[in-house]
Structure 1
């Protein structure tokens, strides 16, 4: 199944596929407002602003599976992220990124990539760069600063 056919839960639109993003380069990120890596939201927004006109989207999937670092309700997260970090890129409902209730999106992403010793996501702010054709190009650890992704992003946009 293409990544663009996977169903996700949008805060505003409800259940949908990623078809609206087909043909674009995507950076899928599991986020959490209370995570120590939440400061990455600002540089993620800067990447989005810099390259959105070239067909690039950051897609944020809030997650509360790691030490309850996302206490907000799904509907509260977009306003909080916008107010605190200036985030305008698309955000989705809280999503399970590992375990028996893993979302189909993250199941596919982790099946196609491997982290350190295991394919399962170990923490918030794991990032997946997806090409225009839906292929997962790179997986980045939570500690990878968004600025370090820019070279790979520019190549993917060509």
Structure 2
């Protein structure tokens, strides 16, 4: 069977080396993860996973500083999707063709709100004239922390944090009503150890060709992503 390429982040809550059954393919291909990092799951994610690249039937694993990634092979790009903006107007994402994109599910009442919105605005201001864009998708699925109307969300982001980047219609990012664009994002960067969005402010980095190249957990600061943004802008 032909191998498929995958690329997704494995969140730490899904990994428990003391309880998880050994996969015979992974066991033979990845020698002693536990012995390298001890039994602590947090140690595994603090130090990263030091593999360059590993191919096993059905997927390719690549090392990233924030974990393991598995990317599903797909011919689709972000440009194949149309979404509604915060005012309810259809917006084809092909309008962002040729730009580096950071896509974020946002919320107004989360403990991560202030730091993320502030840093996102700073990063946007720094790189917007170099071909960079942030696309923010409000979502109320995590603790009901985005309960407001689109008008309230827009006023909150633009008044309190001076957000100038595009904010779109409120969406579901998990479950049966998942927005098609998020189905694409998750299938492009997920699926091996679970592709669910874990919380507010999970981030996807998309290259100039509309392909997902990186996925970051909610706790990753936008400032920590700057080097990756710079590399894609220079490509």
- Report the TM range for the smaller structure's normalisation: over 0.9
Unpaired segments of 5 or more residues in structure 1? none
CA distance in 1, matches of 2:108, 2:213: 26
Query: 1:37 aligned to 2:94?
Result: no
CA distance in 2, matches of 1:109, 1:145: 19
SS in 2 for 1:16: strand
Unpaired segments of 5 or more residues in structure 2? 1-75
Alignment equivalent of 1:49, drawn from 111, 114, 125: 125
CA distance in 2, matches of 1:116, 1:55: 32
Alignment equivalent of 1:64, drawn from 124, 129, 140: 140
CA distance in 1, matches of 2:225, 2:131: 16
Query: 1:136 aligned to 2:212?
Result: yes
CA distance in 1, matches of 2:191, 2:157: 27
- Residue 124 of structure 1 and its aligned partner are, at CA, apart by 0.7
Comparing 14-23 and 100-109, the one that deviates more: 14-23
Show the counterpart of 1:108: 184
Structure label with greater radius of gyration: 2
CA distance in 2, matches of 1:116, 1:144: 21
- Residue 141 of structure 1 and its aligned partner are, at CA, apart by 0.4
SS in 2 for 1:151: helix
- Residue 2 of structure 1 and its aligned partner are, at CA, apart by 2.1
Show the counterpart of 2:159: 83
Structure 1 stretches (4+) deviating beyond 3 angstroms? none
CA distance in 1, matches of 2:112, 2:207: 24
The 8 Å contact of residues 7 and 17 in structure 1, kept in 2 or not, is answered as: yes
Q: How many residue pairs end up in the alignment?
A: 158
- Residue 72 of structure 1 and its aligned partner are, at CA, apart by 1.0
CA distance in 1, matches of 2:95, 2:131: 12
In 2 relative to 1, CA 135–90 (structure 1 residues): closer, same or farther, beyond 3 Å?
same
